[in-house]
Amino acid sequence: MAAKTPKPQELLQIDHRPPREWWMDRKVVFKPGTWCYAGRPENVKALDLPFPREWSPDEEDWKLPDNWKEIVLETFRDRLHKFRSLKVFMDICVRCGACADKCHYFIGSGDPKNMPVLRAELLRSIYRGEFTKAGQILGRLAGGRKLTYDVIKEWFYYFFQCTECRRCSVFCPYGIDTAEITMIARELLLEIGININWIMGPVANSFRTGNHMGLLPHTFKDNIEFLCEDIYDITGIKIEPTFNRKGAEILFITPSADVFAEPGIYTCMGYLLLFHYLDLDYTWSTYASEGGNFGLFTSHEMMKRLNAKMYAEAKRLGVKWILGGECGHMWRVIHQYMNTLNGPADFLEVPVSPITGTRFEHAKATKMIHILEFISDLIYHDKLNLDPSRNDHLVVTHHDSCNPVRAMGFIQEPRHVIKSVCNNFYEMPENTIYAETFCCGSGAGLNTDEFMEMRMRGGLPRANAVDYVHKKYGVNRMTAICAIDRAVLPTLMNYWVPGVSISGVCELVGNALVMPGEKPRDIDLRQEPLVRPTAEMPSEDESDV
């Protein structure tokens, strides 16, 4: 494509349907709003990653090392040896196209290279062109091409336009997971010093201070205490959580965004209220103060480096098991990677709820359970005094976050809790929820403002579905069990569907939980009035789909 968008007039004068160049012939043009800033050298250096330097993707020269090509091919070979997934996925795609229109970025942008199959072909074509005989001899006729500077740029552009959401994988007849391919492609790029700052920054912070936000121990504590003050103002309940306390029964870890950023802080207030209500013997940690793990978006190694803190801290504090807050990619790491990477966790015990005595057998090796599993168990055993009418000012829908659903199968737990704490719940249309949920469009480290246009495009399918329930049922609140969702969906909604706010499930729990000794509540955790439902409630009742 030319650097300038052709004017409609120009298109009309020439034949406006020129033969389309094939994708291998197209070079990437870096348009504003569709790519992220390069990693700052100080962050890259802090992590001992290769080739820290000042560079920018929109410049001609990326200042790559001289032997970038060898490094990439060598790493590629190495990853083929290490990951059967990669090998098999490189070989067996039949290009049936079942995945093509399943990616939110393709749906929202129409850019053909955002079809998962083509995104993967970007890598596959190099695999064929450099590593297979047919590709080396026949080149394009065998679907192969050589690794060039432009290919690297193309990789950067498109592998940082994939949110690793795995929606494509659900529909592929062989389960080819473009997220896995993206993860490995990003590793190849990392080896020649190509990365983005929105990932490098949080990773560097997390490595040093324990959390993405870079909160120092005292700030972390201050923030939680600040939330406790708000809770006191709202409910009259005084909460004094403990930090880094040895001998606690449970270590609680949640994304640091919950401690710091709106609207996550309201979810955090929900946690605090609940733990106080239960008089739970738990502690926060300032060292393992991050549930999320942007290492997942960097490399398998970085994921391990950051994740190591959780077990290390659990061991140091001598807790029995770990409880995890609401977060998407955090749970992908905990559920599918943590025990493999940093286990075995034989110094911990199988999680047992101190209130109900339930043994969480399904987590008996990793020894960490999700807060909603924990709460669902409490509700099932009727241990919570809940007043769902305190959420009557909200008409709620639930956004299934990609990772918990497609890398774990976390579907009914949040719904059980939501339906127990609020009276107005409506599902979004079928095929946009559960395993087929649409991504927020900003996951996998792409939730930065310079990527805004692309985020809005990628979020369009999700927004469309919200728009539907917003118009039909008057939905004004969407819950999401993911810290990235809570950070980016407000923006998305603000643009496409104004009038829908975002929260975690535990915020609703916090609203509904009747605390012993609380003062009469007339405001919710956001200090907004608890307005009773208005007369014009829609009549259809399809909440339990």
Q: Which of residues 120-179 bind ligand SF4 (CB under 6 A)?
A: 162-168, 172-174, 176, 178-179
Tokens (6 digits) for 88: 């098999």
Q: Taking contact as CB under 8 A, which single stretch among the options 112-120, 230-238, 268-276, 530-538 is the one that binds another protein? A: 112-120
Q: Which of 96, 137, 312, 531 binds ligand HEM (CB under 6 A)?
A: 96
Q: From the CB of 92, what's the least distance to ligand HEM, in Å?
A: 9
- Cβ atoms 42, 52 nearer than 8 A: yes
What is the Cα–Cα distance from 117 to 114, expressed in whole angstroms? 8
- Cβ atoms 333, 302 nearer than 8 A: no
What is the Cα–Cα distance from 345 to 359, expressed in whole angstroms? 17
Distances (CA, A) of 415 to 83, 222, 264, 318: 35, 33, 19, 33
Q: Which of 161, 235, 244, 254 binds another protein (CB under 8 A)?
A: 244
CB hemisphere CA count around 107 (13 angstroms): 19
Nearer Cβ to another protein, position 108 or 328? 108
What is the Cα–Cα distance from 496 to 512, expressed in whole angstroms? 29
Distances (CA, A) of 360 to 63, 306, 372, 377: 51, 26, 12, 10
Q: From the CB of 175, what's the least distance to ligand HEM, in Å?
A: 11
- The contact mask relative to another protein for 379-418 (x = CB under 8 A, - = no) is -x------------------------xxxxxxxxx--x--
Q: From the CB of 84, what's the least distance to ligand HEM, in Å?
A: 18
Choosing among ligand HEM, ligand SF4, another protein, none, which partner's interface includes residue 163 (Cβ < 5 to 8 Å by kind)? ligand SF4
- The contact mask relative to another protein for 460-499 (x = CB under 8 A, - = no) is xx--x---x------------------x---x--xxx---
Contacts of 310 (CB under 8 A, 6+ apart): 253, 288, 322, 334, 338, 342, 368
Q: Which of 94, 134, 514, 537 binds ligand HEM (CB under 6 A)?
A: 94
Instruction: Kindly identify the residues of this chain, within the stretch 509-538, that bind another protein according to CB under 8 A.
Output: none
Strand 368-370 and strand 282-283: pairing? unpaired
Q: Is 545 in the site for another protein (CB under 8 A)?
A: no
Q: From the CB of 184, what's the least distance to ligand HEM, in Å?
A: 24
- The contact mask relative to ligand HEM for 50-89 (x = CB under 6 A, - = no) is ----------------------------------------
What is the Cα–Cα distance from 503 to 223, expressed in whole angstroms? 19
- Cβ atoms 465, 432 nearer than 8 A: yes
Q: Is 485 in the site for ligand SF4 (CB under 6 A)?
A: no
Choosing among ligand HEM, ligand SF4, another protein, none, which partner's interface includes residue 341 (Cβ < 5 to 8 Å by kind)? another protein
What is the Cα–Cα distance from 141 to 154, expressed in whole angstroms? 21
Instruction: Kindly identify the residues of this chain, within the stretch 345-374, that bind another protein according to CB under 8 A.
Output: 358, 360-366, 368, 373
Q: Which of 6, 32, 110, 173 binds ligand HEM (CB under 6 A)?
A: 173
- Cβ atoms 363, 369 nearer than 8 A: yes
Choosing among another protein, ligand SF4, ligand HEM, none, which partner's interface includes residue 237 (Cβ < 5 to 8 Å by kind)? none
- Cβ atoms 455, 492 nearer than 8 A: yes
Choosing among ligand SF4, another protein, ligand HEM, none, which partner's interface includes residue 105 (Cβ < 5 to 8 Å by kind)? ligand SF4
- Cβ atoms 189, 195 nearer than 8 A: yes
Q: Which of 41, 214, 474, 533 binds another protein (CB under 8 A)?
A: 214
The residue among 290, 360, 288 whose CA lies nearest residue 321 is 360
Q: Is 92 in the site for ligand HEM (CB under 6 A)?
A: no
Q: Among all residues, whose Cβ is closest to ligand HEM?
A: 173
Q: Is 95 in the site for ligand SF4 (CB under 6 A)?
A: yes
